[in-house]
Amino acid sequence: MNNKFLKIFSLILAVFFVAGTLAACQKPADKAETKPAEEAKTEEKTEEKTENKEEEKTEEAKEAEWPDFNGRTLNVVATSDKYVKLFDKFTEKTGAKVEFLSMSSGEVINRTKAEGKPMADLWFGGGLDAFMAAKTDGLLENYISPNAADVDPAYKDADGAWIAKGLTVAGFIVNPDVLKEKGLEAPKTWAELADPKYAHEVIMSNPAISGTNYAVVKGLLDLFGDEGWDYIEKLNANIDFYGKRGKDPQEKTAAGEFAIGIIPVDNGAFKVAEEQGLDVIYPEDGIPWVPEGVAIFKGSDNVEVAKSFVDFMLTTEAQEMIAELDGKDSAQIIKPGVKGLELGLPQDKLIKQDLSTFGSERQNILDKFLEISKGKTE
């Protein structure tokens, strides 16, 4: 009996001993698993700090890499003098002086053709059709900036003849009082705008004069495809005449002469709408758009300075300045991640346009448009 008891007691002790040994072994294992996790977090933080430092160094290096153009002058033809702040920043970085020519891009191009030498170094802003025509005439320097790598191909020339500084988009400005008086609701789409109930209530500028409105016509042809010209005829039936100035639709709609104006949509339009009780509408079935070009004149005296400006223009700093100066949220579409003005532009509604024919088909499109709108553009 005693022997049996001793055997059982010994067995119990053995079980406790084994269990204790396993438990003792388990604790270091747990610690061994915890330690690498903590080390991993530390390494992760270290790597993150290193990456941030590298980014800071890269930005500092970029600042240090701007060339010294002291004593050089960049001659610029621009659509507006509102960009002085942007060019001043370029001068601050490179030392290059900037002079704006008091002539239109059309005058510069005509004199360049006549004299065989460009009047300016840089062409900043304007309708894309003019840039395409200038490229065809061999007037532009091909330059692909290293800062253009992340710019969508739709917003730059494949050969580097031009690149966009932003986009002009088009929509409607409507006068609610005039609509109410006529018993009409505001149109939400281009399709609705062509409804005969809006006869005599729509105004747009002559696309032969206004680059933005040529872009509207081209965009609508792309939007409606095979039925594009049929649509243009229906829309034309609602328009009594086409404005001779780009601002006519906005001003005449605000004055109550028309219920609906086809306009370039920017911060200025929203401000006018707010001040005068109007509404700005992005058409739900598609938004026409056109890149605002920037190019270097071939054979100019300061090609290298102009190239450096294009590099600068494509930095985040410059793009955010352009967004502010242009007053458009479409300005920051060009470079991913750029912050700027928010006007509610639905980017997914931008019409899928065929820019390859934007310049080459311009005259044919305008000829047919003028035939349809005969008597309304004079």
Residue 330 pLDDT greater than 80, yes or no? no
What pLDDT is attached to residue 298?
Answer: 96
Claim to verify: residue 244 and residue 186 sit in the same structural domain = yes
**Residue at 339 is within a domain:** yes
Claim to verify: residue 176 and residue 281 sit in the same structural domain = yes
Claim to verify: residue 185 and residue 274 sit in the same structural domain = yes
**Residue at 34 is within a domain:** no
What pLDDT is attached to residue 336?
Answer: 85
Claim to verify: residue 263 and residue 174 sit in the same structural domain = yes
**Residue at 273 is within a domain:** yes
Task: Kindly report, residue by residue over 36-45, the tens digit of the pLDDT.
Answer: 444 444 444 4
Average pLDDT score over residue span 12-25:
42
Contact 155/110 with Cβ under 8 angstroms? no
pLDDT band at 337 (very low <50, low <70, confident <90, very high): confident
Number of compact structural domains in the chain: 2
**Residue at 53 is within a domain:** no
Residue 144 pLDDT greater than 50, yes or no? yes
**Residue at 51 is within a domain:** no
Residue 52 C-beta-side C-alpha neighbours within 13 Å: 6
Domain interval for residue 104:
73-167+291-343
Average pLDDT over the chain reads 85
Classify residue 280 by burial, with Cβ atoms within 10 Å: 0-12, 13-18, 19+.
Answer: buried
Residue 7 pLDDT greater than 70, yes or no? no
**Residue at 356 is within a domain:** no
**Residue at 212 is within a domain:** yes
**Residue at 54 is within a domain:** no
Task: Kindly report, residue by residue over 58-86, the tens digit of the pLDDT.
Answer: 443 455 589 999 999 999 999 888 899 99
Radius of gyration for the chain, computed over Cα atoms and rounded to the nearest angstrom: 32
Percent of the chain residues topping a pLDDT of 90? 66
Residue 241's CATH number: 3.40.190.10
Claim to verify: residue 312 and residue 205 sit in the same structural domain = no
Closest CA to 172 of 81, 322, 273, 307: 273
Task: Kindly report, residue by residue over 87-129, the tens digit of the pLDDT.
Answer: 999 999 999 999 998 777 778 788 888 888 898 999 999 888 8
What pLDDT is attached to residue 314?
Answer: 96
Task: Kindly report, residue by residue over 238-278, the tens digit of the pLDDT.
Answer: 999 999 998 999 999 999 999 999 999 999 999 999 999 99
Claim to verify: residue 307 and residue 163 sit in the same structural domain = yes
Claim to verify: residue 274 and residue 176 sit in the same structural domain = yes
For the CA atoms of 35, 41, 47, 52, the dihedral, rounded to the nearest 10 degrees, stands at -160
Output the six-digit token pair for 15.
């079980």
Residue 16 pLDDT greater than 60, yes or no? no
Claim to verify: residue 103 and residue 247 sit in the same structural domain = no
Residue 24 pLDDT greater than 50, yes or no? no
